Amino acid sequence: MTALAHERPETMPEFSTTGSENGLGLDEVVWQAWKAMELPEGYRAEIIEGAIEVSPTGRLPHARIVNRLRDALVRFLREGEYAAYQDANVVFRRKVWIPDLFVAPEDLEPYADEDGLGVDAAAVRLVVEVVSPGRLNEDRDRVRKRREYARAGIPVYVIVDDHDAQGTVTVLTEPRPDKGDWLGVVRVPYGTDAEVPKGPAMGFVIGEAVTGPKRA
């Protein structure tokens, strides 16, 4: 597998949870605000690094890649104890993310968060984000969610990025929660197979059938 050079993003410290005058910490205030939100159809809200972020659902090229990935993961995981999910909340310490795809136990009931709003991040074995166009979208998946998923100790993070050079797939492993970063980083161009090296999806390959061929 051909790995490309990859610049490691600057890490950031954890956000403060100092209590306010009413006794609630910042994380709890943001969590309560997120739970009270009502969004129009076609939008989703996440809590990323202490702030609520609202974004539209992906465009057609984004949806096409996500659906190809999900179909392939469903086939790969069939008859096992794990399944592929999308459009569901992953919760970690009053943070909440909605990955494009994630792999978790087929029976999610024992792993629901205390409010019953999503699955606890401790049960998630792999997350996938397909990067949408635009600087804020690209920064969210490449940098901020990279840090957040590492802090949660999720074992594998896969980034499928149409907007990095001629298209790349990055597989991140060995999270360092204390650093908000990863020890294992493999980044390959479209047209080169990227393989998940561990977990229930170990051996799953993301190649041209999902991303399309390498671009000129």
Per-residue pLDDT tens digits for 57-91: 877 888 899 999 999 999 999 989 999 999 899 99
Domains of the chain in start order, with CATH, are 58-211 (3.90.1570.10)
Q: What is the average per-residue pLDDT within 6-28?
A: 54
Beta bridge partners of 172: 157, 185
Q: pLDDT tens for residues 184-201?
A: 999 999 999 999 999 999
The answer to whether the beta carbons of residues 44 and 55 sit under 8 Å apart is yes
83: number of Cβ within 10 Å: 17
Dihedral sign for Cα 206, 142, 125, 105, please: negative
Alpha-carbon span 113 to 123, nearest angstrom: 10
Using CA atoms, how far residue 100 sits from 57, 62, 132, in Å, is: 10, 9, 11
Answering whether pTM is above 0.75, one says yes
The answer to whether the beta carbons of residues 194 and 158 sit under 8 Å apart is yes
Q: pLDDT tens for residues 137-151?
A: 999 999 999 999 999
